[in-house]
Amino acid sequence: MAGFSHLGGYVQPVLDLSTLNSPQREAVLHSGGPLVVFAGAGSGKTRVITFRVANLISEHGVAPWRILAVTFTNKAAGEMRERLLGLLGDQGGDVRVGTFHATCARLLRRHGEVVGLSKDFTIYDDQDQLALVKRVLRDSGLDEKRYQPKAMAGRINRAKQEVQGPEDIETPDAWSEVVRRVYTAYEERLHQANALDFGDLIYRTVRALESSETFRAEVVGRFSHVLVDEFQDTNHAQFRLVRLLAEGHRNLCVVGDDDQSIYRWRGADRRNILDFRASFPDATLVKLEQNYRSTQRILRAANAVIARNQDREPKELWTDNPEGDAIFVVRTMDERDEARLVVRGVRELMSQGQRLSDVVVFYRTHAQSRVIEEALRGANIAYRIVGGMRFYDRAEVKDLLGYLRVMTNPADDMSLLRIINTPTRGIGKTTINRLLDRAAQEGRGLWDLLQDDDVIAQFGSAARKRLGAFRALMRALRDVAASGAPLGEIGAELVNQSGYADMLRHDDTPEADARFQNIQELVASMDEFERERSDATLPEFLENVTLQTSADEQSGGDRVTLMTVHAAKGLEFPVVMVTGLEEQVFPFKGTDPWEDPDELEEERRLAYVAFTRAEQRLVLSFAAVRRIFGQQRVGIPSRFLTELPSEDVEWIGGRTSSPAPAPAREERHYEPDESYVDYGEGSDLAELEGLRRGMQVRHPKFGVGEVKEVAPGSPPRVSVRFPGWGTRKIIASYLEPA
C-alpha cells in the first residue's frame, strides 16, 4: 500500500495508488474544494477516505493534525485510525479521527470556556436524560401519564437536532407550550448540574460556532480539510456543523450512499447527500459502483430491488466476482418452521466447513428473534444478539458509574440521586423528596445542600446520621479520585468503600455472582483503559464509556449472529439469512407503506442493505402463517421477493401462502407446491376462467383474501374478505390469483 522515503530527515510516505480503480483514484486525487462521493455497498469507501487523507499529507504537505475525519461509531473511527497508521506510520496517529459526538465533546472541553462551558462537564446518556425529564415534570406539577417523559425527551432531542433552543419552540397549542416550559426547565437543570446530554454535544457546538467569533476562530482555524463518512445518516444539526467546520477553506469531502439511508426514524436526512450540490454548486461528484464483496447474483438481486425507488441518485453495483450460487427463497409453514430452517441451514453450512461466525440471521423487528433464539438454544448452537443489553447498561455497572461521575463532578444531581441509597443505607423517598423540594425552591444542587450543615440539621436524627454518613463516604471517594491513583485502584477502592461488594457477597444467588463478575469487569476495564492511554484520567474514562454504542461491542467466540437489519450497516458475512420477508413484516406496516411512498422506499433501502451484506450466499425466507405481536397473520410474500430476477432465484416450497399452517413433520417441509399456478405478470382475473367463491386472490394493497361473491358486469366486481381489512368490493382486474 505504502512505502516510506527519507526527505531531509523526515519520513515521507509513498502511496501506491495502483490498487485503486479509476473512480476511487479520482476521489483520492481530488485536489481541493467540495467533493461528494456516492459509495455503493462494498465499494471500498473507507479505503478511499484513508487514501485521500494519506495523499493530502504525502503529496500536498498537509499537516496530519489539520485534517479532521468524522464518522458515526467508535468502531468505524478505530478502523480508520488503524488503516491510517498502516499507510502513514506514526503520522497516521496525528490525524483527528472521531465520531460526531466525540469530536464535539473534545472541541467543547478545549474551547468551550469562551461560551461559558466548564471543561469538566458531565455527559448524560439517554437514561440520565429521561430521569432528569421526569424530575422536571414532577417539580413542575405535570402528570407523567398525560405528558409522557419519553415523548417529552424525544421532543427535546428533535429540537436539538434542528438546532432549536427552548425559545425557538413554536406554541400553537397547549402541548407545545408545555414542551417549551419543560425544555426551558430541563436546560436550567443541565446547566445547574454542569452537564450536557448527547444532543447538546452537537447542538452546543453549532450554536457556539454561529454565535462566538472567538470560538469559531479557535475551532475552524484548527482544520484545513474535513472528511465525513456515512453522510447520508447526518441530521440537520450535523450538516450545519460540517458546513461550519469547512467554512473558509471549503475543503469538504463527504462520502455516503443514499441507497443505504435507513435511519430516518432517528432524524437522519438523506437529502443532505442528495442535495449536497445544491449547497455546494461547484462540488465534484464521484460514484463508486464496483463492488468487491458480493457475487454477481447477489448484486443483481440488490440492484433489482433498489431500482424500484424513485427518489435516489442513479447507480448500479457491479463486480468482477463470480456469478455465485442461486439465491434461495424458502417458503416455511410458520415462524417456528422458519426457525428450524435456520438451524438446518447452519448445520448444513457447518458440515461444509463454514464457521458459525460466517452466518448472520437478519429480522425486521426484535420481536421476531425469540423463536429463532429458542431453536438455536435447543440445537445447542452458539449465537450472539447484536443490539441487546450492553455491558455498560447493566444496573450494577450503571450504579458504579454513577459513583464515579459524582466523584469527578459532584454537581451531577442525576448520578447523585441514583447512588444516594444504593446500596440501601436507609435514605428513603421522604428524605430524598425533601431534598429535591429544597433544591427546587432555592435553585441549588443536591451536593451543595448536603454540604450545608444547617440543611442537614433540619432532618430527624436518623436521617441526619444517614445523610452525614453518605456525605463522609463521598468526600472520601472524591479524595481517592483526586489522589492520582491508577484508575483500576480507584475502581477497586470504590467497590469496597461503597459497600457494593459486601451487598453482593451477602446475596448468595447465581444472579448476585453474575453481578459481582460485572463490577469486577468494570474495574478491569478501567485498568485496561489506563494501560492503553498512559495519561488517562477518570473524566476521560467516563466520557469514553458514555460515548460507546451498541455497534461498538464485540463478542468473542464462534457463534451465529442475530440482529435487526437496522444494526447491519457496515458489516459483511459470507452467509446472510433474511427472515420474515412478508408484507406487513418486511416491508413493515408501522405506518402504511402503501400510502406513504417515503416509508416504502425506506423499507426497500433496508432490504437493499440486508442483501448487500452477503458475500457468497443469500437465503431469504417467508412464512405462510406467522404469529407476531400476539396475532396470527396469513403471510403474503414480500413484494421485495417478487422483484428479484427470476434467473437468479431458486424458490423452495412454492410462492403462495396458506391460510393455516400444515401439520409439522419431521421430514423436509419444502416440497414443490403443486397448487401454485404462475399466470404471469399483469394477469387479469376478468379474463380467467374459474373465478369462484372460496378462491384465494391477491390485491396489491389488501393482500391475500377469499372470494365471497362474483358480480358479472362491465367491469366485473368481486367481493373479497381480507384478514384485517374486512370485505371489500374490488374490480376484478385489480386482483391476481394467490
Q: Which residues are catalytic?
A: 45-46, 229-230, 260, 613
Instruction: Please give the Cα distance from 403 to 398 (Å, whole number).
Output: 9
In three-state secondary structure terms, 569 is coil
CB count, 10 Å around CB of 325? 15
Side chain identity, residue 238: Q
Q: What is the 3-state secondary structure (H, E, C) of 39-97?
A: ECCCCCHHHHHHHHHHHHHHHHCCCHHHEEEEECCHHHHHHHHHHHHHHHHHHHHHCEE
CA distances from 504 to 40, 371, 498, 499, 508 (A): 51, 33, 12, 9, 8
Cell of 273: 447527500
Closest CA to 618 of 180, 325, 341, 346: 325
309 touches 652 (CB < 8 A):
no
Apex 597 CA angle, 593 and 599, nearest 5:
55
Instruction: Please give the Cα distance from 40 to 287 (Å, whole number).
Output: 8
Instruction: Please give the Cα distance from 405 to 399 (Å, whole number).
Output: 10
Q: What are phi and psi of 363, to 5 degrees?
A: -145, 160
CA distances from 483 to 44, 54, 201, 478, 538 (A): 47, 42, 29, 9, 11
Residues β-bridged to residue 697: 705, 737
User: Which 8-state DSSP code applies to residue 662?
Assistant: P
Instruction: Please give the Cα distance from 286 to 493 (Å, whole number).
Output: 55
Cell of 564: 435487526
Instruction: Report the length, in residues, of the chain.
Output: 738
Q: What are phi and psi of 434, to 5 degrees?
A: -65, -40
Give the strands of the sheet with 703-711, arranged side by side. 726-731, 717-722, 703-711, 696-699, 736-737
In three-state secondary structure terms, 285 is strand
